[in-house]
Amino acid sequence: MRRISVLAKKITSLPWLPPVLTAAGFIAYILQAIDIARTKTSFLDEGLYVYKGWLFATGQYVPFQDYGLWTNHAVLSFLIPGYIQKWFGPGLDVARYFMIFLAVLTLLGLWVFAKRWGGQWWATGAVWVMALNPAEIKVYTLALSEGLIAVMLAWMLVLAVGVKRPLWQIMLGSGLAGLMILTRENMIFVLPLLFLYLLWQYGWKIGFLALASGLGVFAIGTFWYWPDVLYLWAVRLPGPAAQYISEWKPPSEIYGERDVDVFVEVATLYRTLLYFWMTFRLHFVALFSAVAVWLLWPLPKRFHVSERMRTAIFLSVLFLVLLVAHMQASLFGQFCISCILLYVGYFDFIGFLLLVVAHRFLVRNLSPFRGSIILFLVATTIISIGLTTYEDVSSTFAKAMIERLDPVYLWHALLNLTGLQHLMLFRISFVLVASVVVLILFAVGLLWSRRFYADRRIWRKKVGLIGLNALLILGLILSPTKVLGKGNDFFDCDGSNVLASYERAGEYLRSVIPPGSQVYWMGRMDAIFLYLPEVKVYPPQLNHLHSYFVGGDADALLRTGLWNDVLARQWLTETDYVLVEAGLQQDWVMEILDSDKYIKLKPAPKTEKCRWQSSILVYKRVVSAE
């Protein structure tokens, strides 16, 4: 053990090694991001941010206008990617490569912050925590608001959080906090928390100057679209806060019935726990770093808060508030439980930065009670994360094993007892057994560590800390594997070139749909319209069935960017072409399209070769001779 310690000190003392490893981390991140940009599927949210943004940037619509686009999020989440499309040309490739550029800036910000608080090796670690996790890279490569917020949040921390920060940097950092609200409305908590921290750290003058900076940025963006922007806040703010602007909220009478069977995820206890632990699985090192800090937080005998501890408290509160807010909107909501897997991308890196800041004052010698709590939590984490991997068990392997288990009495007993399907039962049983085996091996490793301590009493005080460190190191090593960061990848497209597929599909559609044509759209791949810049789409249809109702007040819905079945039937009689994503056909629409009023053309090539539903059906309306 002593030899290993001496060797480690020699290696870490090499002055050139951290910069080399940091550069390697940046290169590894960029190479993976480029591959992800090329091979991952697009989905509704990505297309909405980019295409709506392009429509705004090119002046075809204005945010919050009547009878325009449904501006259901803060404006900069659309305008930033939209202007990039305007300046560099429309296309999914432009959108994603811009996000890679922002991600590199985010990575640079994390490196600067970690170097300031922990030194070169911690800064290198911050880079590799990101570079080794495909789930993190994916969130920041797709053209989503997570990547926009991440770069603002990272640099807000760099500029405003620390000891003796220059006033101009503090005010600039606070300005970024205001900019975040204009980019994603659920980041409204950041500015007041930053104000309280600055008030605590520097006093009233700097605190209020910083608050004025953040509020000033927010006010400029808000009053630019005043008063129509109140449509957004009347819907987003909770009841008591929104009562003063309630007249801007559309009355409930205008809405009809929703098709809830397809798009609403019921928040059962099972699904809530599943996605809670899956979130930790895909973002393990970042999230568990924060948990480790809290488990090792010292209990002071007297009240004394150092500047380092003050920063750690701020990061802890900021992290918890954002986590709880986004969990409430996803895990405890009735709309999109699985969205938490993406939402944590806004802020999860704060967890590792918290460890960087707090590592110097954390407890090293643990009481029996604290040590027991830590080991219990470590065991729970191993088993729980292990269970979330059941969907990644190969179906081919599972079916082969099920055939072998068919004569086994215990297998049939479990089938009758649980009522689960064969494939589901095998997958859950397999990962449960594997998780228990991993837990046993982990426990054996902890027991083996006793041999390095002559006094067993010292080992007992250290074993909880050893367990936490071992789990974090193991998590970092496994981040690029399907066990953690590479698992549950519903954007995976088997390595096919998605960008090229979209270009081919767009080229075909441009060849059959003349410029200026009106298009009726039924699909969730809005990014395809980046390759059809000269066609016109009915604005409410871009949000697919999320903005669709059966019944209700058609004119009032259209005015707010929504639509219903009445408008759909009207548009089908007016449109020039109808585009329908395969697998998303509505029966009554297809009955109309199969009539003699429409001609079915050759479908567009698949935008994503891994999904048969990504083919777009094309219909041309027959214009009657007058």
Q: Provide the 10 A C-beta neighbour count for residue 99.
A: 26
Distance of alpha carbon 481 from alpha carbon 410, whole angstroms: 32
Same domain, 375 and 439: yes
Whether residues 377 and 420 share a domain: the answer is yes
Cβ(46)–Cβ(207) below 8 Å: no
Contact 290, 319 (CB under 8 A): yes
Asked whether residue 228 is domain-assigned, the answer is no
Q: Is residue 446 part of a domain?
A: yes
Give domain status of residue 293, yes or no: no
Domain end call among 450, 478, 506: 478
pLDDT on residue 330: 82
The total number of structural domains in the chain stands at 2
- Same domain for 462 and 408, yes or no, is yes
Same domain, residue pair 419 and 521: no
| CA atoms 272, 274, 277, 282: torsion sign | negative
Q: Which of 160, 145, 495, 198 is nearest to 326 (CA)?
A: 145
User: What letter would DSSP give residue 216?
Assistant: H
CA distances for 306 relative to 165, 169, 199, 289, angstroms:
16, 22, 15, 21
Let me know if residue 130 belongs to a domain.
Answer: no
Q: Would residue 15 count as lying in a domain?
A: no
- The amino acid present at 304, given as its one-letter code, is H
One domain, residues 428 and 380: yes
The number of helices, as runs of H, and strands, as runs of E, in the chain is 28, 7
511 and 595 within one domain = yes
Q: What is the pLDDT of residues 494-545, one digit of tens each?
A: 888 999 999 999 999 999 999 999 999 999 999 999 999 999 999 999 999 8
- What does 217-271 look like in DSSP terms, one character per residue? HHHHHHHHTTTTTHHHHHHHS-HHHHGGGGGGSPPGGG--B--HHHHPPP--HHH
pLDDT of residue 266 exceeding 70? no
Residue 4 has a pLDDT of: 62
pLDDT in tens, 417-470: 888 888 888 899 899 999 999 999 999 999 998 888 878 888 888 899 999 999
Helical (H) or strand (E) element with 110: helix 92-118
Considering the domain architecture, whether residues 398 and 426 belong to the same structural domain is answered as: yes
Question: Are residues 446 and 531 both part of a single domain?
Answer: no
Share of the chain above pLDDT 90, in %: 69
- Decide if 176 is inside a domain: no
pLDDT: which is higher, 27 or 248: 27
State which amino acid sits at residue 18.
P
Mean pLDDT of 388-394: 89
Is 457 in the same domain as 515? Answer: no
Question: Residue 521 to residues 257, 505, 541, 568: CA-CA distances in angstroms?
Answer: 21, 15, 6, 10
Residues 525 and 613 in one domain: yes
What is the pLDDT, as a whole number, of residue 148? 97
pLDDT tier for residue 625 given thresholds of 50, 70 and 90: very low
Q: What is the pLDDT of residue 490?
A: 75
| 54 pLDDT higher than 90 | yes
Pairwise CA distance, residues 174 & 176, whole Å: 5
Residues 394 and 449 grouped into a single domain: yes
The residue assigned the tokens 């600055």 is: 198
297-355 residue pLDDT tens: 998 765 578 899 999 999 999 999 999 999 988 877 666 888 899 999 999 999 999 99
Tokens of 59: 């002046």
Section 385-406 average pLDDT: 88
Same domain for 515 and 466:
no
Q: What pLDDT sits at residue 66?
A: 93
Q: Which residues pair with 224 in a beta bridge?
A: none
Distance between CA atoms of 347 and 355, rounded to whole angstroms?
Answer: 14
Residue 323 domain flag: no
Query: Does 470 fall in a domain?
Result: yes
Asked whether 530 and 505 are in contact (CB, 8 A), the reply is no
Q: Which residue has the higher pLDDT, 376 or 614?
A: 376
β-strand partners of 549: 564
For 420, the domain range is 368-478
